[in-house]
Amino acid sequence: MKAIEKILINNKAGKFVCVGLDSDIKKIPKILQSDKDAVYKFNSEIIEATKDYAAAYKINFAFYEQNGSKGLSELERTAELIPDNILSIADAKRGDIGNTSEMYARSVYEHFKFDSVTLNPYMGKDSLQPFLDYHDKLNFILVLTSNPGANDFEKLLLDNGKFVYQEILLKINQWNDHHNCGIVFGATKTEELKSNIKNFGELTVLLPGVGAQGGSMSDVKKVFKDNKRENYIVNVSRSIIYKSSDSDFAEAARNEIIALHQISY
Amino acid sequence: MKAIEKILINNKAGKFVCVGLDSDIKKIPKILQSDKDAVYKFNSEIIEATKDYAAAYKINFAFYEQNGSKGLSELERTAELIPDNILSIADAKRGDIGNTSEMYARSVYEHFKFDSVTLNPYMGKDSLQPFLDYHDKLNFILVLTSNPGANDFEKLLLDNGKFVYQEILLKINQWNDHHNCGIVFGATKTEELKSNIKNFGELTVLLPGVGAQGGSMSDVKKVFKDNKRENYIVNVSRSIIYKSSDSDFAEAARNEIIALHQISY
């Protein structure tokens, strides 16, 4: 199934929550920490408990790479746990010269077999092209991010009156011939979301920043509803997976995703 | 030894070439390809043959990550081969929200124990801060890259008359309190190098793009000489490590780095 179809089917079923598996050995419940395969076991229980409500799972490479080859082995096995009807996102923020991006694309789409990836556009189109050449995948390109530093360069004003991130948004729309582009737009930026959503075109939107970072699920849902748009997913990481630090962590994660799923606007 | 000291000592000795270990199993000599530890053996021979002339070794994570946990095991062991008096660079182009960048910094500086890293500034200062908190390391932040796509966003004109990359250069100078910042500036951009070098301040410069990408070692050396500046390194990857595809590959790599080392201006 094409990546974009997985999102559309889940959106039609009212599912908009992406579970971020930012699984850090130091933060997972103590009862698991002594297990030599702790992170994998944690992910396995979280996925099992949340899969009826998840529109996507997002795996952040940093949390695995910090443990080198052992961490990437946990990543490989976690990626295989994601049910085939739910979008898998490699949150890697990649982007490099063409020759190198080809290797990163091979990593994410052929070795780890993800449905989609997050990409950093700073180095321009040729740095993303190897990912765009995978027509059945979905490439979420950073537009306006959820962190305070988004103001430093993403919001610099250009001589044409637009912000840098708005120029990037415009270009991504032009790169979407194969309907395999999406964007990352911070859920913490409600005002910018309202004023830019009309320029999103057909692009699928991944919105991080709800929960620990302070974004509001109901605000995001309302903006999309008001603009009669679907094909978006809202990422929540820490406030689902670390909802409880006790033995009931999986049940607590399930209750949290159900609560987020039911939020109205 | 601090990362910056390694560069200064090598520069004083007339060494400016960084060897890029973009080692791809498909491109290394056929005689090694059947070995089950081929990439590691290739790297080992290349480092041994070039270490008398190298100012730095740059390992591009993409080439290893494409093979998942097995690739990262090769990366771990290759990083250990780099002599302690030569700068090791993790070419990873990282940058993410603070919480995640902390994990990437832990990966590069604590797990893999590199001296330095390449970073992507798009997400702003807080996305780089966890790397900047390592005062003895050297953080090479992308300014103007060597690829054609550098024109897409890096060279957008701002309303203050500067290009985006020039605004980023200005900010990096302000972030350099601990003398642990450097910049990436494409060796393919000689005109921009000439017109911006006066604004580099104390920043160490990593210049990729000589060789396969078309940049000229002698042009780069001349610009730095004319401006009475040291503390720079010029990366060369493919045209050193793949100089010969036969059993003499290590000797050919050595001859190539000697030739690059001796280029005058």
User: Residue B230's closest CA among B1, B85, B47, B15?
Assistant: B15
| Band (B253; pLDDT cuts 50, 70, 90) | very high
In this predicted structure, the answer to whether residue B264 has a pLDDT above a threshold of 90 is no
Residue of B nearest to A68 (CA): B72
Terminus-to-terminus CA distance in chain B, angstroms? 31
Residue A147 is nearest to which of B71, B72, B97, comparing CB atoms?
B97
**Cα separations in angstroms, B207 against A89, B228, B229:** 33, 17, 14
The C-alpha atoms of residue B156 and residue A40 are separated, in whole angstroms, by 44
| Band (A265; pLDDT cuts 50, 70, 90) | low
A105: containing domain? 3-262
In this predicted structure, the answer to whether residue A214 has a pLDDT above a threshold of 90 is no
The predicted pLDDT at position B211 comes to 82
CATH of the domain at A66: 3.20.20.70
Q: Mean of the pLDDT values across residues B208-221?
A: 90
Active site annotation includes B93: yes
In this predicted structure, the answer to whether residue A60 has a pLDDT above a threshold of 90 is yes
Give the pLDDT confidence of A132-175 residue by residue, as tens digits.
999 999 999 999 999 999 999 999 999 999 999 999 999 999 99
Query: What share of chain B in percent tops pLDDT 70?
Result: 100
Residue of A nearest to B25 (CA): A103
Q: Mean of the pLDDT values across residues B86-113?
A: 97
Exposure string for A230-264, b = 16+ CB within 10 A, e = fewer: ebbbbbbbeebbbbeeeeebbebbbbbbeebbebe
The predicted pLDDT at position A2 comes to 95
ipTM, two decimals: 0.96
The predicted pLDDT at position A174 comes to 98
The C-alpha atoms of residue B112 and residue A32 are separated, in whole angstroms, by 26
The predicted pLDDT at position B57 comes to 98
The predicted pLDDT at position B2 comes to 95
Alpha-carbon torsion (B148, A129, A141, A118), positive or negative: negative
The predicted pLDDT at position A59 comes to 97
| Interface touch A68/B111, C-beta < 8 Å | yes
The predicted pLDDT at position B220 comes to 95
In this predicted structure, the answer to whether residue A243 has a pLDDT above a threshold of 70 is yes
Residue A152 with chain B: CB contacts under 8 Å: 121, 124-125, 171
- Mean pLDDT score across all residues of chain A: 96
The predicted pLDDT at position B265 comes to 67
| Band (B214; pLDDT cuts 50, 70, 90) | confident
Give the pLDDT confidence of A13-26 residue by residue, as tens digits.
999 999 999 999 89
| Structural domains of chain A, count | 1
Torsion of CA B194, B200, B202, B207, to 10 degrees: -70
Residue B156 with chain A: CB contacts under 8 Å: 158, 164, 167
The C-alpha atoms of residue A118 and residue B166 are separated, in whole angstroms, by 26
| Interface touch B156/A158, C-beta < 8 Å | yes
The predicted pLDDT at position A264 comes to 77
The C-alpha atoms of residue B75 and residue B59 are separated, in whole angstroms, by 8
